Structures are given as structure tokens and as C-alpha cells.
Structure 1
Amino acid sequence: MTDTEAVRLLDCEDVAWFRDQPEAARGAAAALGRRIGLGEQRSSQLVLAVAELAGNIAKHAVDGSLLLRVVRNEAVAGVEVLAVDGGPGIADVPAALKDGMSTTGTLGIGLGAVGRLADSFHIHSQPGLGTVQLARFWPRPTHPSTAGEPAVGGITRPIGGEQVCGDAWAARKDTGEQPPAPHPGNAAAPPASGATSWSALTGTRPLPPHPRTAPAPGSSARPARPGRPTAVRAAVAGPGTGVLVMSCDGLGHGPMAAVAAQAAVHAFRTGTARTPEQAVEHIHRALRGTRGAAVAVARLEPDGRLLFCGVGNITAALVTRTSRSTLLSHPGIAGHQMHQLHTYEHHVPRHGILVMHSDGLSERWTHSDLAGLLHHPPALIAAALMRQAGTRRDDASAVIAQAAR
């Protein structure tokens, strides 16, 4: 992440999860392709891929599900498909991707066909644990901005019985310039189809950013050592393009929790805060009148410097193949009661990732659970983590940010 062009981000709109519903998944894929203008031929290819992935879940998987969602950048919208299951896994993934390979007596062209149809296709499988697959479809002709994988990706899942999720995540670049207004629905956990926007429900407006941007006298500018957080009295954004990442858990679950989460997303995306502490303060003011939320914001910079500020029960950690270092948050509820905020400075190791998730995921995971996934796109890592640690007793969300490679 060395400049604005090198940092790629996608806004995500989670549309629907499907479990044991292959017909419904195919129908939703067709409708989604039409809705975003994917084109007739490309929509048909999307439906074929969804049919294959959903069919594999039905035939092979234990506790499998499929997520359809819209992905957008500044120029174009596409569709992303995530297929997640709990087993039995694929012993030889390269062989499974070859045409003619089958373990059920079929022609065995399915996964290879999905890989050819999709603009990007990633798969991770471990025997006895399960498989996670990600396929992304863009309109034709392909826009240059769709090349490459985004630096940040996440996933949300509502508690059983709910259609909206009270958890959310979002990411944006920061170059010191005013960010553009977001496209309607560009968020990690939007209101359900036909739902009123959060601003109409709450009657609130975006607030100006906190004015403090200069360091306090005597504050240290020395970089943090790997694994050793440094408290920063008044953090300042560094040079180059930074990436701000937010994770939010609206209090409780259901529509009112989703209102709080979307208020946080809107405040984060439309604000001009350059540091995590400023962003959390801004979100805190925007959440007044809502249920409130646990909120954490991180800023990643090109040299590996990371600034972090969190309030409430958002779990955050830096993860490598050999280590997990937990980032410190403070008690409180954004929108209701917060004590004095503290920003901590860390260093993200090369090839390391930042993980943030709500308490819809257990904290009982280790670096070894993710060690074999670090080379995959962030969204696939987030889906694998949710499969590993998701509790299903609450809304759940996970967001992953990758360090520069």
C-alpha cells in the first residue's frame, strides 16, 4: 500500500444467506444480476456458478451456507459469492479443479467451470474441517479498476430468525482529502430490502469531524516495535495513503441494532476523521439517540504503522503465521457512555493481517487457525474465521485487513 492507486477497496452490501436452499440461491442470483445491470450473459454465468456451489454444498457439505452480495468500487458494481461449509473438505484442491475429477460419479467439471466463469475465484479446503470458496463476477467488458484483490474484506451474519444484522464493518482510504459521498447501500450490513434508511429513522445528520489534528506537546513520534503497543497522546496521520477500517456491533440484535450499526457506518464513511480516535469520537456523537454500539477503528499506513482505538467488546488482533497479538479496547458504549479514549500504535508485520470481530465470534481461536489462509483474500479469511469461531447466538461480523506484501 504505497499510494492511492495501489490501495484497492470494495464496498460490500450483504444481500442474503442461503442454507439448504439451492433453488432460492439461483433465483436470487438471477435477480441480483438484473438489479445491478450485470448483463444477460454474465447473469446467466453467475447463476451457473451459484448452482454449482450450492449443489456441492447440498451433496457434500456439513452445515454449509452460501452468501450472495453486491460489491462496488468507484466505477462499477458486481456480485460476490461466498460458499462456506463444515466438511468433509477436499484432500487435493488442484486435482478437484481439473475437469474430469469427481468423487460422486459425475463428470467433475464443476469447480473448474466456476473458476473459468468468475473474474476471480479462490478456494481453501482442509480435510475434516471444510471448504471456503469465493467467486466474484463483474460486468463485461471488465473495467480496469476491478483488477487485483482488495486490501480489506469482511462478512456479516444476522442471528437466526432475523433478516437484518446489527453488526457492520466498513473501510475507506485517507489521503487528507474530503471523501466522496457513499453510494446508497454501500455498507457492510445494509437495511433489508425496502427498509427505511437509518437517517430517516433517526432524524440525525452527519456531524463535523473532531477538530484535534495536531500532536500534543512532547508526544513521541518514534515508531512502535513489533508486538509492543505504544500509547499515543494525540496521534497524527502519517504520510501517504492510509486505510481506515471500522468494526461495529450494535447493542442487541434486530432492526434497532441495525439502525445503530448503519449510523456508525454512515458517520465513518462520510466523516473526515484521519485518526481512529477522531473517528470513534465522531461515531459516538452520531450514535446518540440510538441503542449505541461497540466500535473499533484502525488506521493502517504504508510503512506498517497501525493506530488503533476501540470502545466495547470488539476483538482486535494482529496475526501472523506464528503469532497473535491482541489489541486493547476500553469499556463503554459509543452513543451512550465512553471514558477517555486512548490510541495505541502498533506495527503490522510483513504478511501479517489485522483481525477485528464482534462477540458473535468466540475469542477461542489462535494464529494456527488462520496460518494457512494468510495468502487468500481478506473476505475469504473472514468467512473461514466465522466458520471456525461463529457462535450463532448473536449477530456476527469479522473484518480482515492485510498488510502490504
Structure 2
Amino acid sequence: MNARGELLTVDCEDVAWFRDQPEAARGSAAALGRRVGLGETRTAELVLAVAELAANITKHAVNGSLLLRVLRNQDVAGVEVVVVDGGPGMADITAALRDGTSTAGTLGIGLGAVRRLADSFDIHSQLGIGTVQVASFWPRASRPARTGQVVVSGITRAIGGEEVCGDGWVARVDTGEQTAPAHREEATPRRDTGLVPPDWSAMTATRPPGGPVSGASRGSDALPRPGAKGRSVPVRAAVAGPGQGTLVMSCDGLGHGPMAALAAQAAVKAFRTGDTRTPEQAMEQVHRALRGTRGAAVAIARIEPDGRVLFCGVGNITSALVTSTTRAGLVSHPGIVGHQMHQLRTYENRLPAHGVLVMHSDGLSERWVPTDLASVLHHPPALIAAHLLRQAGTRRDDASAVVAKAAG
């Protein structure tokens, strides 16, 4: 939340991943700092921090990667650095952050200096598992004032060999001022738009007559969830509650590459600029925006201030409410947003105390369990999402994960 007690969300643009490319990471950090207007001094501090982090992962980490991305709110833009590796992990994070401590072969400023240079810095490490670090840099004169954590964040990674990612995510705050009417539980069946090529079902593995659901049209409830508990309740007339609610969307453009990215970008734009209040209304808006594109699997949730969660999903975005010991799957239905949506249903559940909402594309395996996230649930959403990507991500498809917490 910010100083006025408003929920805090930021727009995120994942710019580039780097593996064993410290010089390229430093050069891109310098260009990115200038592009978003950090200023000369702040950009130099960003580059220094990136140089230390990149040198660390190059010399000492297993499967280390560094992500540079842009953060934006309505007033200012900044840069966030995400570092993920597969080991060996740190036995004593406190010692690693102590001044004067730096691993051999790096620039020697140490993680403690990186933490001081950054406006925010979070780290989680486990021996034998690896380390995740997230650092953000805002312009000194206009950094956003805030009194709490960002309540939603996510991460995307393109399939190997592609420059753009066909997955996307976005969040926005509903101030409660809109007066859009509530939707019915079931929408009118939709006709095909006529834009689907003849072999579309073969390309997307949609449900053949009398056959099983698979591929992009498979609902996220098609397979049992490890550790799933609780149940979702269908809502006949989903109504947004009073106060500020957080709306979150995760989308996966069909396939990968530029055409999938165009579909994801259209979905993100429609959701970000929309004024709908419920997930079902937002899904209708995204559906209209995706006509003429490849289409996408989409999941949309609304988290109320009291912890109530409204959810509407089409396609195989995996969505769950997660605590350190439980994972309750949220129900999606078959379809392709932008092409084939039949009946929309909104389901209601409740975000458990100290729990998070997780949504991810099929670029992550569904086989993760609650204990995989137990040690990071007290960290900000960006770190949780990066940790999950490291734990469950595959290299066979575009990947994205988004995590939302209740405001606190």
C-alpha cells in the first residue's frame, strides 16, 4: 500500500535474460537506466550492482540467470534486477550481506553494497537448491513513496531461441468507483469467429468430438492437484465487494514466438485499460480484444480486501491458493479466449491466512507441491514467482508465473 492506504501495484516489462554474459548484462543495464530516466548517477549505481550480481553467478553459481526489467507506476519508471541460480546456495545469508564480504573473483563490492544501492533488495537461498535475489532501482528524486509491499508480481521467460515471450500477466486495482452490472453465472454460448484456420483444432489440441481435453483448451481442473484441499463455489451473480479489490490476469498466447506474443500483448492491454470489476466481465473484454489473434488461455482473479477470491478461467492456466501446507486448485474450463468460449463461470473461494494466489502457464510443470514454496511465502511476490519458475519451469515452452498476496 502507499502512504494514502491505497493498494500498490506496478506494471512490469521483462526486457532480457542473461546467462554467462556479464558484459552484455552491464551494457543492457546502462542502456535501460538511461531509457527509463534513472539519471546518470542512479544508472551508474544500477550498473555497478548488476556487474557484481552477474560476476557472482558467472563464477560461482550453477545454471545462473539474470533478468533485467522495467517497473512502472502512473508517475515514474524504474529498473528491477532478478537473479536466479540452481546452487550451491548460501549457508549464511547474514554473513554474505555483511560489509566487506565478497566472493573471490567478483568486483569486490559485496552483496551488502548491492543491498544499500538498491531501493529494495530481497534474497532467499537454500543449500543444494540455489538462490533468488530481487533488487529494484528508482530515480532518486522521484522514487514512489510506499508503506507496504507490492501485492502482485510475476515473471516471464521465452522458450529457448525466441526473443519474445507469448506469456503475459498484469494486475490493476479496482477503486470501487465503477458501477458495471454484475454478470450472470453462465454466458451465452459463442459462435466461432470464423477466423480459425481449418486445422486449428490439430494445432491447439482442442477437444475432439467425444474425445479428451488436452493442450491449450484443457481446463486447469483437468488433472488432480498435488495436495489440493478445499473447493471452489460457483457464483450465480458475481458481485465485486466494497473497497479496493486487486484484479490479476495470467495469459498464455497459443504456441510461441511473435504471434503468440501479439496475443498476450493484446490481452494485457485490454485488461490494463479496462474498467470492469469482476473476472467474468474482464474475460469478456479480453475475449473481444483477442479476436483476430491466435487466442490464448486466460485466468483472471479478483482478491477482495476481506480475502474473498473471485476466479474465472478459460484454458490451461494453472491457478491455486497456496499455503505452506496446502494447495487448493481453482477451476478453469476448456476454450480459447478470442475464439472458442462457451460457458463462463465465476467461482468463489477464500485466500487463506498467510497464503498466496499462484497462476502459471504450462511452461511450468504442475508437479510442484506446497512445501516447494513454504520457505519463501513471507517474501515479496516477485521473489516467490522467480523461485517457482526456478523450481518448476521447463525450457520446452514460454513460461510465466504470477503471485498475489492480500494487502497487509
Q: Determine if contact 1:67/1:81 at 8 Å carries over to the other structure.
A: yes
3-state SS of paired residue (2:238): coil
AA of the residue aligned to 2:169: W
Output the TM-score relative to the length of structure 1.
0.86
Q: Report 1:173-188 matches (<5 A).
A: 173-177=173-177
Q: CA deviation at 1:404?
A: 3.2
3-state SS of paired residue (2:134): strand
3-state SS of paired residue (1:141): helix
Match of 2:45 in 1: 45
Q: Percent identity?
A: 74
Match of 1:341 in 2: 344
Change (3 A) 1:262 1:129: same
Q: Report 1:223-238 matches (<5 A).
A: 227-238=230-241
Q: Determine if contact 2:2/2:148 at 8 Å carries over to the other structure.
A: no
Match of 1:31 in 2: 31
Match of 1:204 in 2: none
AA of the residue aligned to 2:150: P
Match of 2:55 in 1: 55
Matched, 1:84 2:84: yes
Q: Determine if contact 1:152/1:401 at 8 Å carries over to the other structure.
A: yes
| Range moving further from structure 2, 5-14 or 51-60 | 5-14
Match of 1:162 in 2: 162
3-state SS of paired residue (1:132): strand
Q: Distance in 2 between matches of 1:144 and 1:112?
A: 23
| Count of residue pairs brought into register by the alignment | 365
Deviations along 1:278-318, whole A, 9 cap, x unmatched?
11111111111110000000000100000000000000000
Q: Determine if contact 2:76/2:144 at 8 Å carries over to the other structure.
A: no
Q: Determine if contact 1:298/1:306 at 8 Å carries over to the other structure.
A: yes
Q: Determine if contact 2:176/2:243 at 8 Å carries over to the other structure.
A: no
Q: Distance in 1 between matches of 2:54 and 2:291?
A: 42
Q: CA deviation at 1:271?
A: 1.4
Q: Distance in 2 between matches of 1:102 and 1:3?
A: 36
Structure 1 residue corresponding to 2:386, chosen from 370, 383, 387: 383
Q: CA deviation at 1:58?
A: 0.5
Q: Determine if contact 2:247/2:300 at 8 Å carries over to the other structure.
A: yes
Structure 1 residue corresponding to 2:356, chosen from 350, 353, 358: 353
Match of 1:221 in 2: none
| Range moving further from structure 2, 278-287 or 112-121 | 278-287
Q: Report 1:383-402 matches (<5 A).
A: 383-402=386-405
Q: Distance in 2 between matches of 1:142 and 1:27?
A: 24
Matched, 1:152 2:152: yes
Structure 2: stretches of 5+ with no match in the other structure: 186-228
3-state SS of paired residue (1:9): coil
Match of 2:318 in 1: 315
Q: CA deviation at 1:143?
A: 3.3
AA of the residue aligned to 1:323: T
Q: CA deviation at 1:349?
A: 1.1
Change (3 A) 1:367 1:4: farther
Structure 2 residue corresponding to 1:287, chosen from 283, 287, 290: 290
Structure 1: stretches of 5+ with no match in the other structure: 179-208, 217-225
Q: CA deviation at 1:21?
A: 0.5
Deviations along 1:151-172, whole A, 9 cap, x unmatched?
0000000111111110000000
Match of 1:246 in 2: 249
Q: Distance in 2 between matches of 1:136 and 1:10?
A: 12
Match of 2:332 in 1: 329
Q: Determine if contact 1:3/1:240 at 8 Å carries over to the other structure.
A: no
Q: Determine if contact 1:3/1:241 at 8 Å carries over to the other structure.
A: no
Q: CA deviation at 1:269?
A: 1.1
Q: Distance in 2 between matches of 1:308 and 1:40?
A: 44
Q: CA deviation at 1:106?
A: 7.2
Q: CA deviation at 1:212?
A: 4.3
Q: CA deviation at 1:142?
A: 4.3
Q: Distance in 2 between matches of 1:161 and 1:104?
A: 32
**What is the RMSD of the two structures over their aligned residues, measured on CA atoms?**
2.0
Match of 1:271 in 2: 274
AA of the residue aligned to 1:11: D
3-state SS of paired residue (2:373): helix
Q: CA deviation at 1:108?
A: 5.8
Match of 2:99 in 1: 99
Match of 2:198 in 1: none
3-state SS of paired residue (1:298): strand
Q: Determine if contact 2:312/2:347 at 8 Å carries over to the other structure.
A: yes
Q: Distance in 2 between matches of 1:162 and 1:228?
A: 38
